[in-house]
Amino acid sequence: MIMVFLGAPGSGKGTQARYLYEKFGFEHISTGNLLRKEIELETGLGLSIRKIMEGGRCVDDDIVFQLIEIILSTRQGEHILFDGFPRNINQAKKFDALLAKYNRVIDTVIDFQIIFSKLMERLTGRYICTRCMSVYHKLFNPTNVEGICDKCGHDKFMVREDDKPRVVKKRLEVYEEQHQSLREYYLDRLKLYDLDADLDVAIVHRNLLVLLQKHMNR
Ligand code: AP5
């Protein structure tokens, strides 16, 4: 099964993807995480994209597809969840063509719906375990024991460079420019389901499971 999560920065895609990985073993492919890994490792690619990502702009489609093709060519037949990819209509069209090359299709696309005014607070309060990359929030989703990761027990956390308010503003602008046409592309293909992402984490998760159950029983 191939599933795609669409949604604004901070709408909760990564948080829910993690739950699906833990519950059903969906491989979670976040293009943001893949790109950040390149930066961390200081690869040639990483050095060329650092400024773009820190500015909140989109990385070139060709670079993103280099990474996606590696994933598809090495994970044939596995359940994969793409989080934050495709991000624009060009990527969506190109992704369909690439999937066809590997005899695969997108099964379902979930669009995380939330009002924009909530997102700044979500992103500027986010912190991430540096060992297992579990995502938390100072107010909405803190660790059970302060300073200790619930999942792996590690005690070091980081905040993302692009979660600074000025960069968040740019990311939201970029998202707004691209989202409607992407949404229409999947609506036309009857693949798109809306999910209310403006609820408590556990309720969003429950509703997502109900939605997936309905989809699987179609
Ligand atoms: P990427 O890493 O994909 O970031 P994003 O799409 O902007 O999404 P986020 O990871 O910020 O948010 P999320 O929806 O996963 O929210 P989360 O679950 O963490 O992309 C980063 C950059 O990489 C882009 O700007 C671009 O430069 C580049 N890039 C990536 N993909 C690309 C592509 N395909 N093409 C070109 N460039 C690309 O939750 C956020 C916070 O809210 C957390 O603190 C969490 O604990 C909390 N939270 C989650 N759910 C809830 C809830 N229900 N209620 C309250 N709080 C909640």
DSSP state letters, 177-208: HHHHHHHHHHHHTT-EEEEE-SS-HHHHHHHH
Active site residue 87: yes
- 126 pLDDT band (50/70/90 cuts)? very high
Say which of 36, 87, 104, 122 is annotated catalytic. Answer: 87
- Residue 205 Cβ inside 6 Å of ligand 1? The answer reads no
pLDDT the model gives residue 75 = 87
| Average pLDDT over all residues of the chain | 94
- Residue 126 Cβ inside 6 Å of ligand 1? The answer reads yes
Residue 218 has pLDDT above 80, yes or no: no
Ligand 1 centroid to residue 16 C-alpha, Å: 11
Q: What is the arithmetic mean of pLDDT over 138-145? A: 96
* Nearest atom in ligand 1 to 36's CA: 23
Residue 30 has pLDDT above 90, yes or no: yes
Residue 210 has pLDDT above 90, yes or no: yes
Burial class (CB in 10 A: 0-12, 13-18, 19+), 73: exposed
- 197 pLDDT band (50/70/90 cuts)? very high
Active site residue 218: no
Q: Which of 183, 212, 174 is nearest to 52 (CA)?
A: 174
- Residue 56 Cβ inside 6 Å of ligand 1? The answer reads yes
pLDDT the model gives residue 78 = 84
- 17 pLDDT band (50/70/90 cuts)? very high
pLDDT the model gives residue 215 = 77
Q: What is the arithmetic mean of pLDDT over 151-179? A: 96
Residue 77 has pLDDT above 80, yes or no: no
Percent of the chain with pLDDT over 90: 91
Q: What is the arithmetic mean of pLDDT over 129-142? A: 94
CA distance 215 to 193: 9
Say which of 18, 36, 122, 126 is annotated catalytic. Answer: 126
pLDDT in tens, 169-186: 999 999 999 999 999 999
Record the tokens describing residue 56, joined without a space: 């909140």
Global pTM reads 0.95
Q: Which of 172, 188, 176 is nearest to 93 (CA)?
A: 188
- Residue 141 Cβ inside 6 Å of ligand 1? The answer reads yes
By three-state DSSP, how is residue 54 classified? helix
Percent of the chain with pLDDT over 70: 100
Q: What is the arithmetic mean of pLDDT over 60-68? A: 95
pLDDT the model gives residue 163 = 96
- Residue 186 Cβ inside 6 Å of ligand 1? The answer reads no
Residue 217 has pLDDT above 80, yes or no: no
Active site residue 104: no
Pocket test for ligand 1, best of 6, 126, 164 (most atoms within 8 A of CB): 126
- 114 pLDDT band (50/70/90 cuts)? very high
Residue nearest to atom 56 of ligand 1 (CA): 140
CA distance 75 to 102: 10
Say which of 13, 94, 118, 189 is annotated catalytic. Answer: 13
Residue nearest to atom 19 of ligand 1 (CA): 14
Residue 216 has pLDDT above 80, yes or no: no
